[in-house]
Amino acid sequence: MLKLIRRRLVYLIPVLLAVSLLTFLVAALLPGDMAEVLLGDQATPETLAALRHDMGLDQPLLVRYFIWLGHVLQGDFGRSFRTGQTVLAAVAERLPISLELMLGAQLIGLAIGIPVAIICAVHQGGRFDRAMTGGAFAMLSVPSFLSAILLIWLLAVEWQILPATGYTPFSEDPWANLRGFVLPALTLALGEWPVIMRVLRSDMIATLQEDFIAMARAKGLKQSRILLVHALKPSSLTLVTVTGINIGRLIGGAVIVETIFAMPGIGRLLVTAIYSRDLMMLQGVVLLVASGFVMLNFVVDLLYATLDPRIRHGRG
């Protein structure tokens, strides 16, 4: 197991380097540069050139990348030219909010997706299965900004059981904090459970036809044990992969949902950084988010080994 972790960690190095290069290029190749943004209307070619020289922007792209990478490797992601806050401090402040949102969305998505998938697989082709498979497809095609507004209308305006927008820190009022997260997390989960359900459903259908399931039936085990122990575990490899990859989708979704629900998370931070051309902030946040995503998928890889002993023993 330790050997496996070491081997996978070595693979991570080139991936993270590529991520950093892409992030840098995205920010650097945007038209216009920071000198222009900073100087605004008063810029003359001379002052622009002087500022560019001061900021190192007149250096070749590759040199600038390595200088930035060098700083990043020392833990210095730069600071926002707008607020003066360091990128790390800004991320540390906003990250918990986005993590809580994504964790909530993932949990709700799994809580809906897994049971529905199991019931559909057991009664494959039945009425419930057809309704849910169709429903999931419909749900997938509803964009999150639309479902967000529908949910706000239904739960916050009509029934008035949840706050429409806003964020209360957990330390201030845990109950209000959790209530505030329900709607945005539910919005994200509505796009999440259909994916979980469809992936798990088809894997479960295949697993239920395996000999070892017939064997489990012949052993006279309870249906719940057959489904949850004998069938769910070997069926969940794709589910775990998809859940890992979906984190990327969730980050994208968080940008929209945080904006709609006025949650001061990473998504909002990114949007603000883009609008204000805060390139250092943008670059830093994207790098941190992307690294986080890569690391999470690394954890997912390790989860495979927990789920499937054949991978653990190096035969996968």
Partner 1 sequence: MSLLEVENIVVDLPTPRGMLRAVDGVNLTLDAGRTLGVVGESGSGKTMLSRAILQLLPRRAKLSGAIRFDGQDMTRIAPETLRKLRAKSVAVVFQDPMTSLNPVLTIGSQLTETMREHLGVPQSEAILRGVALLAEVGIPSPEQRMGNYPHQLSGGMRQRVAIAIALSCAPKLLIADEPTTALDVTVQAQILDLLAREQRSRHMAMMLITHDLGVVAGRTDEVAVMYAGRVVERAPTRELFHHMRMPYTAALMAALPKLDAPPHTRLPAIGGRPPDPINPPPGCSFAPRCFYADAACDKAKPPLSAPDRMAHQFACIRPLPVKVAA
Least Å distance between CB 212 and partner 1? 4
Closest approach, Cβ 124 to partner 1, in A, equals 9
| Beta carbon of residue 243, minimum distance to partner 1 (angstroms, whole number) | 18
Look at the block and give the residue holding tokens 């040199």.
63
Query: Closest distance between partner 1 and the C-beta of residue 209, in Å?
Result: 9
Asked whether 285 and 270 are in contact (CB, 8 A), the reply is yes
Give Cα separations from 265 to 63, 65, 131, 256, 281 (angstroms): 32, 27, 36, 11, 14
The 8-class DSSP code of residue 154 comes to I
Beta strands (DSSP E) in 38-197 are none
Tokens of 292: 């986080």
Is the CB of residue 207 less than 8 Å from the CB of residue 234? Answer: yes
- End-to-end CA distance of the chain, in Å? 13
Closest approach of partner 1 to the CB of residue 140, in Å: 28
Q: Which is nearer to partner 1, 76 or 210 (CB)?
A: 210
Using CB under 8 A, list all residues that contact partner 1.
210-212, 214-222, 225, 229-230, 233-234, 307-310, 313, 315
Question: Is the Cα torsion angle 37, 43, 49, 51 positive or negative in sign?
Answer: negative
2-29 and 279-307 are packed helices; what angle lies between their axes, rounded to 10 degrees?
160
Q: How many CB atoms lie within 10 A of CB 199?
A: 22
Minimum CB separation of residue 215 from partner 1 in Å reads 5
What is the residue type of 83? T
- Nearer to partner 1 by C-beta: 153 or 212? 212
**Which residues are bridge partners to 86 per DSSP?**
79
Contact by Cβ (8 Å): 98, 264 = no
Instruction: Report the nearest approach of partner 1 to the CB of residue 221 (Å).
Output: 6
Helix spans in 123-172 (H) = 127-140, 144-151
Give whichever of 41 and 211 is closer to partner 1, judged by the CB atom: 211
- Least Å distance, CB 310 to partner 1, is 5
Measured from the CB atom, the residue of 69 and 307 that comes closer to partner 1 is 307
- d(CA 106, CA 81) in angstroms, rounded, equals 34
Q: Which two tokens stand for residue 283?
A: 């670059």
How far apart are alpha carbons 284 and 146 in whole angstroms? 30
Distance of alpha carbon 140 from its chain centroid, rounded?
17
